[in-house]
Structure 1
Amino acid sequence: MSVPQLPFDAALSQNQLLAVLPREAWERLRPHLEVVELGLGQVLYEPGRTMSHVYFPHTAIVSLLYVLEDGACAEIAVVGYEGLVGVALFMGGDSTPSRAVVQSAGQAVRLPARVLREEFDAAGAVMHLLLRYTQALITQMAQTAVCNRHHTLEQQLCRWLLLSLDRLHGNELVMTQELIANMLGVRREGVTQAAGRLQHAGLIRYSRGHITVLDRAGLEAQVCECYGVVKQECDRLLPPRIAS
């Protein structure tokens, strides 16, 4: 099946990084960009394997997971329309110890690794933009580690829901409790109890793998400081979203 052609205006309105590319950089990258559909649970890369492409999500959300030797895993960061998947490609390595898995199905634009690396090595505006995004991503990873160590599971779930919600166009996530447990690196029973408390408080509605956020302000009132730190740093470092 052929990949649909990416309209210029659509690309500008979907991914924050692509949206602010200088015209000359866009013209160099445009012939190599392609739209791809990302399915729920699809693995974009595995630990230690060479990555052939970088992905700029549009409507998809991708989780970066660290996988232990026994197969257990935990989410270290989440990427949506604000960023890209594959920072190792321009930071001096061709692989990472993490796994990238599609958390919410949707579209992304992908670009061959070689093309992005050449643009980055030119040391222009694109390099500075990608470095700012990398700083925001590192902040999210560091704050996730702190949150998992010091805050309650309910607070972690609130943080996870809000970060995911920030990267969606609506207020509904398609995600089973088992997958959430894998993302947070906890037992499913713990997620069931935490989600039940949030639902009892009228903040979310959970049914058959669908989580609907009913009261975002309520979630923000319950979440720990970690969410605010990550959001503030993203807002400071990254360009604002251009409405589609």
Structure 2
Amino acid sequence: MPENRFLSTLGRADAALLGPALRARSLARDDLVACEGRPVERVVLPVNCILSVIAVMRDGREVETRTIGFEGGYGLLHALGSPVSYERVIAQVPGDAYELPLAALAQAAQSSPSLVNHIVSFAQASLIQSAQTTACNAIHGAEQRMCRWLLMSQDRLGSNILPLTQEHLSIMLGVQRTTVTAIAKDLQARGLIANGRGRIKITDREGLKRIVCECYEMLEDGVTQMVGFSPAAQTS
């Protein structure tokens, strides 16, 4: 099981500051972590779950802007500025996480410049992913983007079994569910994945990497530059 990298790379003094406020929790699929227009009350730091950060349009349409796994957390930057969320955040893949009150992280940051630097580095890594995902959604086709999501999810879970639904996939890709079904059937026919009920099994990782767009590698490189660790390291 991967550790949460934000926590595991804290200095000893900063870890001591946050330790008393940390609590372990389990997230079920679709659990709401943050809601657009509402204050963020808790920072959530995934261990073996994946959070989906979603932009919601006025007409109700949704599109995923980034995912967060054990390499980071949601709410970090809110501790240094406005506590209001402008995104909806849900547990896309269920699992374990740590959480701490936003106020506790904000208070600790006031007394520790090293903690502020740590927060900023991990927040920048998340913003890099959001920017690259936006570019990817505008430029690359749905098949390449789906391969990117599958590879990134495998990296964050350390497993070739990905528990997900077609509804989640359609939100991630910003396409109709019929498009997701067609892509999944084609990838399965090519021996790259195996579709199951509520899950996808990756059967040929290298095959997916031959299809995926450049954004997969660029995203991993961006995280590595900011925090010194690539989520893909555990599946390479």
Counterpart of 2:87?
98
Measure the CA separation in 2 of the matches of 1:142 and 1:117.
Answer: 25
State the 1:120 CA deviation.
2.3
Q: 2:159 aligns with which of 170, 188, 191?
A: 170
Other structure's SS at 1:31 match: helix
Residue identity opposite 1:198 in structure 2: L
Q: 2:186 aligns with which of 160, 183, 197?
A: 197
Q: Give me the TM-score of the superposition, normalised by structure 1.
A: 0.90
Verify the 8 A CA contact 1:20 1:239 in the aligned structure 2. no
1:238 paired with 2:220, answer no
Residue identity opposite 1:21 in structure 2: L
Query: Equivalent residues in 2 for 1:1-244 (5 A)?
Result: 14-240=3-229
CA deviation map 1:70-98 (0-9, x unaligned): 11100001000000111342241111210
Measure the CA separation in 2 of the matches of 1:171 and 1:121.
Answer: 41
Aligned structure 1 segments of 4 or more residues deviating by more than 6 angstroms:
none
Measure the CA separation in 2 of the matches of 1:42 and 1:66.
Answer: 16
Structure 2, gaps ≥5 residues long: none
CA deviation map 1:5-25 (0-9, x unaligned): xxxxx9xx6111100111111
CA deviation map 1:196-215 (0-9, x unaligned): 11111111111111101111
Structure 1, gaps ≥5 residues long: 1-9
CA deviation map 1:89-148 (0-9, x unaligned): 224111121000101100100011111112223352221121111111111111111111
Other structure's SS at 2:223 match: helix
Verify the 8 A CA contact 1:65 1:100 in the aligned structure 2. yes
Identity of aligned residues (%): 34
Measure the CA separation in 2 of the matches of 1:129 and 1:220.
Answer: 31
Residue identity opposite 1:212 in structure 2: K
State the 1:66 CA deviation.
0.3
Other structure's SS at 1:90 match: helix
CA deviation map 1:34-90 (0-9, x unaligned): 001100011111001011110111111000000111111000010000001113422
Mean CA deviation greater in 231-240 or 200-209: 231-240
Instruction: Name the count of aligned residue pairs.
Output: 232
Other structure's SS at 2:162 match: strand
Q: For the aligned residues, what is the CA RMSD? A: 1.7
